[in-house]
Amino acid sequence: MRSLSVTPKPHITSVNISDIERRRRILYVLLAGTALAATAILLILLFLMRATPNRSEQDLASLYWATAAVFVFTVGIYALARWLSVDAASTVFLVLMTIGAAIADDPIEVAHGRSLITFAIPILAASVLLRPWASFLFAGLSCVVLMVIGRQTGLLPNLLALVVFFLLALISWIFAHNLRRSNEELADSNAQIQQQYSILQGIIESSDASIYSVDRDYRYTSFNQAHASSMAQIYGATIAVRHNALQYITNEHDRAIASTQLARALGGASFTEETMSASHSAEPRTFEVAHSPIIDANDAIIGVAVVARDVTATVCGKAPARDE
């Protein structure tokens, strides 16, 4: 018998989650980060203000109200994302972040100083939370905000900052677009693998033979119902994938034979032998067992495929009749 090149059962994790669910999870992480950051800033500012002799009670009240507003908006956006619309929740979150960046500092610092960097957060996050092109939308919104602030302060907008915003949007769009395309290709590949496995599983289930495969550690990678029933009938075992196949064989003689045959196949040999199994029932059964190494794309042996047919009736029919 020739060696086989078999696709084992695909172990597909949750990479096939929908795009909406993926964006919802990212939004939840950002909301949690925002709440934690607000709490940390509150504690730090409270410590600094209480250490200042001339602290203002009005400043403390403003700090409390600002932190409370952050938590209220965070909870509201979370509820909106969970029960209504992820797109709407993400849009509200990003707009509020842009507005917060505009009012969090002195207007001159916002338009020309240290607070300019805060506008980069919604620009970068937009391509992930919404669509890749949304980064350009929020880059434009940030430019409009800076122009309005510049008009109010009588200063020209920082032209370099406006250019940098759109460069950030371009970079973010490239990464987000490629990531989305990679996720789509991965989802298609997983679907094809799952379909191929379903076809292979249907083929082996349509056979009356006992069919199974193991890896190099003798752990089940697949089996059909006929093999599961045979193991239950002969050894009283309920087998499972990724469990050692030899451990289910309670008869030491049978286990030794199976171990020798599997090791021989893992060495590269393809062969067919008749094997007698000691059953819990009154009479043992005789099987014609074919072993074939499973070879991957790199010509490496990664396991063994086994096909066993019950030939007890045939063997008994060939046995010579006894004299009476």
Domain encompassing residue 18: 14-189
- How much of the chain is helix, strand and coil, in % rounded to 5? 65, 15, 25
Point out the domain boundary residue: 144, 161, 189: 189
And the tokens for 322? 């006894």
The total number of structural domains in the chain stands at: 2
Residue 307 burial class via C-beta count within 10 angstroms: exposed 0-12, middle 13-18, buried 19 and up: buried
Alpha carbon distances (Å) from 134 to 139, 163, 321: 9, 17, 85
Q: Is residue 264 part of a domain?
A: yes
Tokens linked to 72: 């209220």
Counting every residue written for the chain, the total comes to: 324
Question: What is the percentage of the chain residues whose pLDDT exceeds 70?
Answer: 85
CA dihedral 111, 169, 136, 19 (to 10 degrees): -130
Residues 71 and 169 in one domain: yes
Residue 128 and residue 233 share a domain = no
* pLDDT one-digit tens code per residue, 235-247: 889 999 999 999 9
CATH number at residue 310: 3.30.450.20
Q: How confident is the model at residue 54, as a pLDDT?
A: 63
Same-domain pairing of 52 and 135: yes
Predicted confidence (pLDDT) at residue 267 exceeds the cutoff of 90: yes
Cβ-based neighbours of 59, under 8 Å, separated by 6 or more:
49
Q: What is the pLDDT of residue 19?
A: 78
- Asked whether residue 172 falls in the same domain as residue 261, the answer is no
pLDDT (tens digit, 9 = 90+) per residue, 47-106?
Answer: 766 666 665 666 666 667 777 888 888 899 999 988 998 899 999 999 988 988 888 777
Q: What is the mean pLDDT of residues 20-27?
A: 88
For residues 20 and 127, state if they share a domain.
yes
- pLDDT score of 4: 45
Buried b (16+ CB within 10 A) or exposed e, 123-132: bbbbbbbbbb
pTM above 0.85, yes or no: no
Residue 3 has pLDDT above 80, yes or no: no
Q: What are phi and psi of 12, to 5 degrees?
A: -95, 120
